[in-house]
Amino acid sequence: MVGYQVGSMAETRKFAPGDDLLEWVQKDNRRFLHAVYRVGDIDRAIKFYTECFGMKVLRKQDFPEEKYSTAALGFGPEKSHFVAELIYCDISHQIKGKVSNAI
């Protein structure tokens, strides 16, 4: 049984969850699609995710003229598995105080 309080300390209700309470978890097909991480060294970050978590590089794109790189890593195809997207952006050429955190 799980107890919770409503209002004052004296008023406590107890209930027993039904069998169907967690049934939605098995039927629900929603998932966490991806997360984006800004990294300072994309090759080092790729090495970490592949060696420590066993993720695979799904795609990697370099844009040397913009000093920008992205990599998508996952445990399986992006259509059915979570993906960690790594973003590297060389900000050393930008003017101090003019760095944007929005990407």
Under the banding of pLDDT at 50, 70 and 90, the label for residue 103 is very low
Spatial CB neighbours of 61, under 8 Å, sequence gap ≥ 6: 69, 70, 71
Looking at residue 4, its pLDDT comes to: 47
> Which overall architecture, per CATH, does domain 34-91 show?
Roll (3.10)
Distance CA 68, CA 64 (A): 6
Domain boundaries, the chain: 34-91
User: Is 0.75 topped by the overall pTM?
Assistant: no
Looking at residue 14, its pLDDT comes to: 61
| Locus of tokens 């050429």 | 93
Task: List pLDDT tens digits, range 15-54.
Answer: 556 666 677 767 777 788 899 999 999 999 999 999 999 9
